[in-house]
Amino acid sequence: MKKVLVLITSILLAAYIFGAGFTIKPLFYTYGEGSDKKLVYSITPVLDLDVFKVGIGLNAYQKDIGGTFYYGSPTSESTDFINGLSLNFLEVDFDPFGARYGYMGKYTFGLGTMMYGYTNKLERAFDVRIGSKKSINLRGHIPFEINTWTPNFELKQSSSLYFSTINYGALSLFAAKNMGENLTHNDTVLGGGAYINILGMNLGGEGGIITTSSPSTETFGYMAGIGGSLDLGIIRFRALPILYMSKSTLLGYIDKDYENGNNYTKLLNQNKTRFGGIYELNIKYTNILTANARYNYDINGMLESFSNQRIYAWLNVKSPFEGYPFLLTGYYNRNMNDNEWLNNVIEKPFDAKTDMEYSISYEMADGLYISYVTFYDNTEDNFKNRVDITTSVEF
């Protein structure tokens, strides 16, 4: 513990001495579930030189409060202090080339027919771009992170999904595949989209194919939709109101639930062709207000019923006053029942399939917040409150 305190003090002192270009990013979180849950501590000074950013910090964890300190990734069992020194963040951003190593963000392709909000929380990965952002470029996602430095340098696979995109003007192509040990099934997902500007509106479409294989079954499915977007500056509306889906497809198959296998089970149950749709509203005003609302669904028969209905919404409001660094955040997610309509959600906005939370936070240091949180407990059907000390994984 004494070593940890000495290193943290040294890092903070160095950041203070060097001054400009440095920010300190603390991070505290729990990793794992149940008896395998670990308390993770990380502090990273980030040097920002515009086209080059680097954060070399200290990572440590405990299996219980007051227990032994382990150093490095929470999947390693190293007591070697050197492993605590880690490359937590790296970004290079030149016009013809860019690369990033750090915690995964949320990845979406197009309007999310194939991939929407995919992530593997608190895991790191490499993201690479070859080509200019404003012209043709190839992007790749490689799910590996540094596990240990000594006695042997070791990379570990941080998730199963590899993917890449090609972007050229109005045309975008997408390819993804899961790889790794102990997979229950193999996926190959291909997608594409094209949108052109007509009278101020971007019109076009997107779609793709999903193939899966396991020792007991193989599937093949495809989907395609047409729609567009209207950008009014602060407000942007996007939609695919006409979307055809074959059997063995699932809208937004690659999302935040992809790594736990839930979506594969849902895909196997899609045994009929059907139509569906996606509607999304984005609001952004400088860095003060960001909001998003999304609704997608499948249609059964001739408008007989809706299925696979999902509502996603989130809000982020930042205080415009420098001396009052308050932050209001919230989200609302709901998986609707097959016999529900949107008016049922308005009449009864909370049920057992609803996740909802909002918080008011005060920023004590860069990326470190104390928050008063109100959340909906969908198992007890009531609201509860808590006080959190939270950190941001954004560098």
CB atoms within 10 A of CB 286: 9
Q: pLDDT value at position 389?
A: 78
Tell me if 78 sits within 8 A of 70, measured CB to CB: yes
Is residue 88's pLDDT more than 90?
A: no
Please, what's the b/e burial string for 327-339 (b: 16 or more CB within 10 A of its CB; e: otherwise)? bebbbbbbebeee
pLDDT of residue 17: 42
Distance CA 264, CA 268 (A): 6
pLDDT band at 23 (very low <50, low <70, confident <90, very high): confident
Q: How many CA atoms lie within 13 A of 381 on its CB side?
A: 4
- Residue 34 is classified by DSSP as G
Q: pTM for the full model? A: 0.85
What pLDDT sits at residue 150?
A: 66
CA distances from 54 to 21, 57, 87, 337 (A): 11, 10, 8, 46
Q: Is the pLDDT of residue 20 over 80?
A: no
Measured distance CA(41)–CA(61) in Å, rounded: 6
| pLDDT tens-place string over residues 219-274 | 999 999 999 999 998 999 999 999 999 999 999 999 988 998 889 999 999 999 99
3-state secondary structure of 319: coil
State pLDDT tens for residues 32-69.
776 778 888 888 888 888 889 998 888 889 888 778 88
Percent above pLDDT 70 for the chain: 92
Q: Cis bond leading into 215, ω under 30°?
A: no
- Confidence at residue 34, expressed as pLDDT on a 0 to 100 scale: 67
pLDDT band at 21 (very low <50, low <70, confident <90, very high): low
Q: What's at 246, amino acid-wise?
A: S
Q: What is the mean pLDDT of residues 360-385?
A: 90
Stretch 195-216: mean pLDDT: 92
Q: Which residues of 222-254 are buried (b: 16+ CB within 10 A; e: fewer)?
A: bbbbebbbeeeeeebebbbeebebbebbbbbbb
What token pair was written down for 66?
């007051």
* pLDDT tens digit sequence for 108-141: 999 999 999 999 988 899 999 999 988 899 999 9
Of 105, 125, 126, the closest CA to residue 117 belongs to 105
Distance of CA 249 to the CA centre of its chain: 22
Q: Are 43 and 8 in contact (CB under 8 A)?
A: yes
Average pLDDT, integer, range 194-211: 92
CA dist 199 and 222 (Å) reads 31
DSSP 52-90: EEEEEEEEEEESSTTS-EEES-TT-----GGGGEEEEEE
Span of 22-31, 44-53, 83-92, 94-103 with lowest mean pLDDT: 22-31
Domain boundaries, the chain: 1-90, 94-285
Under DSSP, the state recorded for 118 is B
Digit-coded pLDDT (tens) for 141-193: 999 988 777 667 788 899 999 999 999 988 999 999 999 888 999 999 999 99
Beta bridge partners of 375: 357, 384
Looking up tokens 């909001």 gives 291
pLDDT digits (tens, 9 = 90+) for 283-307: 999 999 999 999 999 987 776 778 8
